[in-house]
A = this chain, B = another copy of it.
Amino acid sequence: MLSKKTKYGLKALTFIARTEGDSPLQVAEIAKNEQIPQKFLESILLTLRKSGILGSKKGKHGGYYLRQPSEEILMTDVMRVLEGPIAMVPCVSLNYYEKCDDCVDEDTCSVNKLMLQVRDSTLNVFRNTTLADLSRPKD
């Protein structure tokens, strides 16, 4: 299951991409429009900012904005920040590889074999989808 954090994060990013103008967008406005608990959203946008996807401006008339054009924001990066590693087991993770504690032999491990394929196909989707793609209405 996708976490609420990821769901809210994606919705917020899409909202920003769709309505971004000259001035940054405030948490309260995003929360209201996308029906997201404001305090929760605040913490999510904060992690997106710390990861470099969003920028922020403090004080009156402050808010959040995209650091790059939405066409250049890849889902691989967004999903890693929001949901964590894309692989479903650490032993097939590109960025966070770790040997499974309970695995005897990776070469004969069926879990490894299957999850490697799932990772590749999922990665293929995320690498070929940008925030701009998600921001367009459905075909």
Measuring CB to CB, which residues of chain A are less than 8 angstroms from any residue of chain B?
1-2, 4, 7, 10-11, 13-14, 34-36, 75, 88-89, 100, 102, 104, 107-111, 113-115, 117-118, 121-122, 124-125, 129, 133-135, 137-138
Contacts and interface: CB of A to CB of B under 8 A. Distances in A.
Contacts of A133: 113
A125 B129 contact: no
A16 to B, nearest CB: 11
Contacts of A102: 4, 7, 35-36
Nearest to A75: B114
Given A88-B2, A117-B129, A138 B108 contact: yes
Contact of A35 (B104, B117, B134): B104
